[in-house]
Each structure stands twice: as C-alpha cells, then as structure tokens.
Amino acid sequence: MLCPDALPHATWVREGIDLFLVTSAAAAAGVRRYLPGARTAIIPPPVRPSFRHLVPQPEARSALGIPPGARCVLLMGGGWGLGPVEGTARVLAAAGVHVLAVAGRNRRLEARLRALAAVSLRVHPYGFTPAIPALTSACDLVVTLPGALTCGEARAAGRRLVLVDAMPGHGRENVQHQLELGGAEVSNPRPLEIARSVLAALDRPPPARLAGAPADWDQAFATAMASIGDSHPHARSAREVGYP
C-alpha cells in the first residue's frame, strides 16, 4: 500500500498488507502505531513523468501569455476546487501578481474565475486540466491545499509552496511535514492573509535547492518491492503498477 501523506489514517492500515510504502520516517512510525509488526519502506513521493521533463519557465510563460519578468503564482484548491480560490486570485491580481487559477472539477468556481478574468488581465482561469506541469513550470510558487501529491509535484519542479491551512486531520500533518522540509509557508484560509504570505514569499530569494527535488522513484520502488521477495506475486516494477 502506498501512503503519500505525512501520517497514515487508522483506516488505511490493515492486516494482510505485505508492505507499506511511505515517504518519511514519521509515516513509517505512524503505520506501526496501528500495526506494530508492519513492514514499511521509505520512498520518494511519486510524481508524474511530465514533472521530470518540464519545459523551461520562459517557454511555459510565453505559451501562457505571462510576461517574462512578471510575478506569477499557481493557485489551486485540489481536484474539487476547495478553499478561497476566487477571493485569493482577486487580491493577488490587484497586487500585480499573475495568477494561474485552477478550479478543478468545481464548475461554479471555474465560471466565477472566468468572469473575474474578463475584468482582470492578470487572472488566468482553468478548470480540470492536464496542463498542471506547464502551469507549475511557468509560476514562481504554488499556492495550494496541503495535498501530499500536489506538494511532491511542486517540489519536483523546484517550486516553493504557500499552503492554505484548510484541511483538518491529515492536512495539518502534511502542513507540518512540508514546513519541516523547508521551502514552504503556511497561511490561514482567508484571501487577504494568503496574499500577504504569497507576497512576502515572493520577496524572499528562493533556496538554492528545494528539498524533495526529483529522485529515482523507480529504483526506490524496485528496492522496496525486492524486500518482500522477488517471488511475491506483487513484486512487480513501478511501471507495471501504473506509477512513473
């Protein structure tokens, strides 16, 4: 079982699972909290192959109509478009920041973002889109809910994070883990406070290297699976099970 979040939930840990794949020592200990004899392996967060071969930022910006020297952020609320995306986009655009605002599957939010874009040229609206790698390449930092996979992809692209603290439970644990990794800030879920955190982050120089940069996931996965024996029916390559 793969658990990309900072700590696993009790409902995810069950007898009969041969190996728990986690992304930190804390998560491995979290598995053993519920199943002391569980076998765990720590691997890098999985990211889609497109995040390992991003187009250069100038090329991505040119394709999206973002001026070369402009400040630009990618603003997301997860696949369901949760959180104060519209309000935050409005405040950031008024502050001179280009906002790549993604509504996900939230069609009402997408409609509101498109209406906002009609009166604010710095707002660039999207619905549920496969263009996240290009949008990530174009931006200076990512503003998002603390989903583990989204954070992993931002880090793989070398982008800093401003995390919106609007997810109870594992969301809080993910926030803490991302803050410990560095290159991340956290904000209360109010548009003005998010914008203040974003503007302050943009004013600071980026770190020389962001923790969580691309790692060899295939090799880590293969090594982890080998630990349960090559003859095990589930000891297959990463590509066979659908991961990059």
Task: Say what the pLDDT of residue 18 is.
Answer: 93
Task: Say what the pLDDT of residue 217 is.
Answer: 64
E strand map for the chain? 2-3, 20-22, 40-42, 72-76, 98-102, 123-126, 141-144, 160-164, 184-187
* Higher-confidence position of 50 and 86: 86
Pick the CATH number of 49-203 from 3.30.565.10, 1.10.10.60, 3.90.1300.10, 3.40.50.2000: 3.40.50.2000
Task: Please compute the mean of the pLDDT values over residues 25-33 and round it to a whole number.
Answer: 94
For the chain, what are the domain ranges? Answer: 2-44+215-226, 49-203
- Rounded to two decimals, the pTM is 0.85
**Residues of the chain above pLDDT 90, percent:** 70
pLDDT grade, residue 133 (50/70/90)? very high
- Inter-residue contact 49 to 133 (CB < 8 Å): no
Task: Say what the pLDDT of residue 239 is.
Answer: 38
Tokens of 115: 């209406």
* Range from 45-49, 196-200, 214-218 carrying the lowest mean pLDDT: 214-218
- pLDDT score of 228 more than 80: no
* Higher-confidence position of 235 and 112: 112
Q: Are strands 184-187 and 160-164 parallel, antiparallel or unpaired?
A: parallel
Tokens of 238: 């990463």
DSSP 207-220: PSS-TT----HHHH
Tokens of 45: 């967060």
